[in-house]
Structures are given as C-alpha cells and as structure tokens.
Amino acid sequence: MLAGYHEIVRLADGTTFDARVAPDREFRIGLYRRGAPLVEFWSEAGTYRRRVGDRVTAYAFRSIEQLRYDFERDAQNAVDRD
C-alpha cells in the first residue's frame, strides 16, 4: 500500500509551502503566511479547486506541468501583493 506524499517547507519570513498527494491521487498544494492561505490548489472527489486569498474557484486541471505553472504564478503574485 502506498503512503502518499507530504512535504512542508517553512521559510524564515513565516511563509509555508505544503504539498500533499494521497494514494488515490487527490492532492493539495498551498502557500500560507502565518497559517492563512495565500494560494491553494486541490482536488476532491474528482473536482479541482483554486483559492487565491479568500476567493475559491473551479480549476480546469490539464496537466501536472500546467498546475505547477499556475501555482507558481499565483504564488508569486500573492507574495508580491502581501
């Protein structure tokens, strides 16, 4: 049985990157500042969501590469605004 994947990176400025992939391939990746989400992408029961600040929208998952690009872009924009 696979255990999934979980990685947390904590930075000195209070920012945390958290990535989780469950054995069923559901995932959640997020960038947090002092526990509050700046950006999150996740899957749940076959649906995909994106949170930027307080706004949650559907996410059109196309590929891992696109997910990474979208996350990095949103995260950079959130850090620049914060």
**Residue corresponding to tokens 């949103």:** 74
| Strands of the chain, DSSP E | 5-10, 15-21, 27-33, 36-44, 47-52, 55-58
Residues 26-61: pLDDT tens digits? 999 999 998 899 999 999 999 999 999 999 999 999
* pTM (global) more than 0.75: yes
Side-chain-side CA neighbours of 18 within 13 Å: the count stands at 18
